[in-house]
Amino acid sequence: MSLNLEVIEKDENNLIFTIEGITVEMANAIRRIILTEIPVMAVDEVIILKNDSPLYDEIIAHRLGMIPLKTDLETYKLPRECECGGYGCPLCQVSLTCEIHNTDTKPKTINSGDLKSNDPKIIPVNDKIPILKIDRNDKFIIEAYCSLGIGKEHAKHSAVSNIYYRYFPEIELDDSKCDNCPDKCIVSRMCPKRLYDFSSNKKPSLVRDYWKECDLCDSCRTNCPEEAIKINIVDNKYIFFIESDGVLPFNVLISKTFEIFNEKIEEFEEKLEGIDIEIQS
């Protein structure tokens, strides 16, 4: 069975694709790897040198940690896999600094764009994320250190905001059975996603790309008095929906996912070789 992946929609923050030729267990493994195993940069350590704001240092450190940062997986390593042994070096750590003295007459909001990175590739994905406010004549001076981590350890390292998949639906509508109820098709009103069009020919028809929206609720099939609808699930085909805050480009995300998937299979095989398995019937 060969694997077939087709991108349906893609923009900066959303990706919809279908994947064919894998089992549901593999589809779920892909979902879990994307959610929890892809390394992503986030603030890990903060040194607060001056904080005149009304927020506690701990709250500021938490807010800094949750700022999504653009990640470069080519240059940086996970601290535990780095030659420095996780102590922190230019191969596994990036520093962000912020030094602001509000000389204005009004309070000032400090945003993610005010953080200065020592690597221009590792910056906040959005420079308008508010961190805190300081009053006039107040100061805010910090040093923050970012490193790669995985979502399994902390949600701040999640590579995506949301990911889910659905079975691929295939609906068969036999409109020759629709002659008995031409004026008020119950099905077109019962579908919560409004996937049946009843505007032309006095017979219902499925809207284009209905499979993208259909969540297999079965209300059309169970409510049709003429039993004109059949719903099938296409074997080994799934639709994936991914929402990203932009920390990694989707092509890097997908290729890294399959790299980790293969590593896991290899690790499993290696561990299996050392074990004598007795199958008991």
Tokens of 273: 């070789």
Pick the stretch among 78-86, 131-139, 151-159, 268-276 that binds Zn ion (CB under 5 A).
Answer: 78-86
When the beta carbons of 81 and 215 are compared against Zn ion, the nearer one is 81
Pick the stretch among 25-33, 79-87, 98-106, 112-120 that binds Zn ion (CB under 5 A).
Answer: 79-87
When the beta carbons of 82 and 248 are compared against Zn ion, the nearer one is 82
Distant-in-sequence, close-in-space partners of 236: CB < 8 Å, separation ≥ 6: 1, 20, 21, 22, 23
- How many chain residues bind Zn ion (CB under 5 A)? 5
Comparing CA positions, the residue from 204, 206, 199, 194 lying closest to residue 231 is: 206
When the beta carbons of 119 and 197 are compared against Zn ion, the nearer one is 119
Binding test (CB under 5 A) with Zn ion, winner from 82, 110, 122, 163:
82
Binding test (CB under 5 A) with Zn ion, winner from 24, 84, 233, 265:
84
Distant-in-sequence, close-in-space partners of 166: CB < 8 Å, separation ≥ 6: 215, 216, 238, 239, 241
Q: What are phi and psi of 2, to 5 degrees?
A: -90, 150
Q: Which of residues 85-114 bind Zn ion (CB under 5 A)?
A: 89, 91-92
Q: How far is the CB of 89 from Zn ion (least distance, A)?
A: 3
Q: Measured between alpha carbons, how far is 140 from 133 in angstroms, rounded to an integer?
A: 9
Comparing CA positions, the residue from 126, 156, 148, 18 lying closest to residue 72 is: 148
When the beta carbons of 5 and 84 are compared against Zn ion, the nearer one is 84
Q: How far is the CB of 105 from Zn ion (least distance, A)?
A: 45
Q: How far is the CB of 44 from Zn ion (least distance, A)?
A: 12
Q: Measured between alpha carbons, how far is 183 from 202 in angstroms, rounded to an integer?
A: 7
Q: Which residues bind Zn ion (CB under 5 A)?
A: 82, 84, 89, 91-92
